[in-house]
Structure 1
Amino acid sequence: MLAIQTHSLTKKFGDTTANDDISMHVSKGEIYGLIGLNGAGKTTLIRMLLGMIKPDNGHIQLLGNDLTPKFSLWNEIGFLVETPFSYPNLSVRENLDIFFDLRKLKDPALIDKVIDQLKLTVYTNKKAKHLSLGNQQRLGLAKALLHQPQLLILDEPTNGLDPAGIVEIRTLLRSLTENGASVLISSHLLSEVAQIAHRIGIIHEGKLIKELFAEELETQLIKKVVIHTKDNGQAITHLKKSEFDTQIVGDRIYATDEKAITSPELITKLLSDADLPPTEIYVNKENLEMYFLRIIGK
């Protein structure tokens, strides 16, 4: 069973097309990372998935059921959309008590469990308005996780978290999917998406322009050996004679063939033997941010 499946979702606001014919799916036990520039259509898509706005065209299924006004599986879905809302004059526990009652849950131990999961124990009795931005985010995530949902839909879930907090949330989400939950995560922290997602979708100007598995990303990232010598002109002549695929860009030589990338020490030896020892040589690999900008043509 697919956790999420959409068919040709389209949403317009006046003359602006926020989402344009988006068909996608999220499998059971999968973390799907959705990336895009501000205004690309990520939040509109998430709001449609949660029934907050209605698509102009297309179809949505969540947990194998059509998303209609009669959809009855909301207690199997947790979500965080943009800025998390809390009652500012209520404590962390009191906020969770309210959501416990709204969800009509039965086991009070769920509250203590999620407080522990989100490392909020020392803030249990602290009013929400006195929490740091990061701990307000943790409280928002606690509400999304309180009822142990099968599907999590999270918009920028690591906003306000420090690096240690980001790692904690990454570990938590991975553990949830290992137990069968599914996660759709939208984030501008592209490096974090690359580390956590099983699949990545790139949305640009309302269109889903690319999807790939995380392991595919590694094969699509551009790699090159960057070289500098006292005489790049002579150096590139020697490299080409040895059948390295090279070019001069600015004051650096780029070698882009597999032999150079996997064995840059061969280049060092070749140039050193020619009395042109590299003053700089390293392998440069495109990261997700660079890949993303290349794909959208920026």
Structure 2
Amino acid sequence: MDAPLAVRARGITKCFGEVVALDGIDLEVGQGRIHGLAGPNGAGKTTLLGLLLGLAVADSGRLDILGTPVGRALSAPEGVAGFVDGPGLYPSLTARQNLVALAALHGRDTRTGIDAALEQVGLTDVADDRARGFSLGMRQRLGLAAALLTRPRLLVLDEPSNGLDPAGKKHVHGVLSRLAETGTAVVLSSHRMDDLEALCSDVTILATGRVVFSGPLGKLAAENGELAYRIRTSDPLTARRLAADAPGVVVDGTGTRPGDEALVVRALVPALDELVARLVRASVAVRELAPVVSPLEAAFLTLTEQQEADR
């Protein structure tokens, strides 16, 4: 990467008894980048996030955060904030009081930054409501506000979109994107492939404690091979006939919806482009063209299933 690295991990291993949670992990996260972590349950995502937050230390390997090697002490590195397994909040305190308590813990002036953090995550209207009455999505946003209060240079988040409605998710996505634009590095885990595709410039896929892919999303899509695509047109019968005759295109019976006349095909992108051109030349209007499964989700399934098979 051309930008300075916020995270540089080499050969990180972490075991809990006989369970190997992380097995020789390499990871690079540039400043001003949003880096996604994906993987099935038990892949090691939460353990890795815990190492970045100073909640655990690696058994072996080297971890540099914001240019400083991480030692053996359990402490959050300077300039790092975030949460794993949900934010820790005081349920009997209001949203504002929770942030005041956090600011005091960090030795900050409680009069500054709190209102701005609440406004940033869209909680100004409930600032004086007790956290015990908050929904999951509101608690996630309050946890994000708590992290923002420290003005981190590396923000580490575990499933930040949990419990958010579409408007709340859009709001949080905007906050994270603006942070990255100002140079903050963001590492987030999610089971939602659409969140990762919408937010992340890079992604690391873990399976059984190992990295099975790490790099830009564009590279992942390019290496993924054939995908299934749904195509809705103005003339389904002609579209099906043209698809059946198109080189490199396989008409697929999966992915259709009951009562839907959409055509599902499996093809590489160049063959798909040629099919669309044929449809246009035949005066067939293309009304919808989308992957049945997103490139990230398809690669995720392929890579993690292959890793499980190789164990």
TM-score normalised to the size of structure 1?
0.85
| 3-state DSSP of counterpart to 1:129 | helix
* 2:215 corresponds to 1:212: yes
Identity across the alignment (%): 32
Q: How far did 1:73 drift?
A: 7.4
Out of 265, 271, 275, the residue aligned to residue 264 of structure 1 is 275
* 2:185 corresponds to 1:173: no
Structure 2 letter corresponding to 1:290? A
* 2:19 corresponds to 1:16: yes
* 2:68 corresponds to 1:65: yes
Conserved in 2, the CA contact under 8 Å of 1:224 and 1:261? no
Distance 1:65 1:234 in 2: 59
Q: How far did 1:170 drift?
A: 0.9
Q: Which residue of 2 aligns with 1:290?
A: 298
1:1-298 residue pairs with structure 2 within 5 A? Answer: 1-69=4-72, 74-106=77-109, 108-221=111-224, 222-223=226-227, 229=237, 236=244, 239=245, 244-247=247-250, 249-250=252-253, 254=265, 256=267, 258=269, 260-268=271-279, 283-285=289-291, 286-287=293-294, 288-297=296-305
Structure 1 letter corresponding to 2:70? L
TM-score normalised to the size of structure 2?
0.82
Q: Which runs of 5+ in 2 are unaligned?
A: 255-262, 307-311
Q: How far did 1:70 drift?
A: 6.7
Q: How many residues align?
A: 288
Q: How far did 1:247 drift?
A: 3.8
Conserved in 1, the CA contact under 8 Å of 2:54 and 2:77? no
Distance 1:235 1:8 in 2: 47
Q: Which runs of 5+ in 1 are unaligned?
A: none
Conserved in 2, the CA contact under 8 Å of 1:224 and 1:257? no
Conserved in 1, the CA contact under 8 Å of 2:203 and 2:215? yes
Conserved in 2, the CA contact under 8 Å of 1:75 and 1:147? no
| 3-state DSSP of counterpart to 2:37 | strand
Q: Describe the shift of the 1:174–1:86 C-alpha distance in structure 2 as closer, same or farther (beyond 3 A).
A: same
Cα-Cα RMSD: 3.0
Distance 1:262 1:289 in 2: 22
Structure 2 letter corresponding to 1:293? L
Q: How far did 1:259 drift?
A: 5.2
Conserved in 2, the CA contact under 8 Å of 1:224 and 1:283? no
Q: How far did 1:101 drift?
A: 0.6
Structure 1 letter corresponding to 2:108? L
| 3-state DSSP of counterpart to 2:170 | helix
- Larger displacement relative to structure 2 (218-227 or 28-37): 218-227
Q: Describe the shift of the 1:188–1:234 C-alpha distance in structure 2 as closer, same or farther (beyond 3 A).
A: closer
Distance 1:18 1:71 in 2: 18
Conserved in 2, the CA contact under 8 Å of 1:6 and 1:24? yes
Conserved in 2, the CA contact under 8 Å of 1:226 and 1:281? no
| 3-state DSSP of counterpart to 2:161 | coil
Conserved in 2, the CA contact under 8 Å of 1:261 and 1:283? no
Structure 1 letter corresponding to 2:17? G
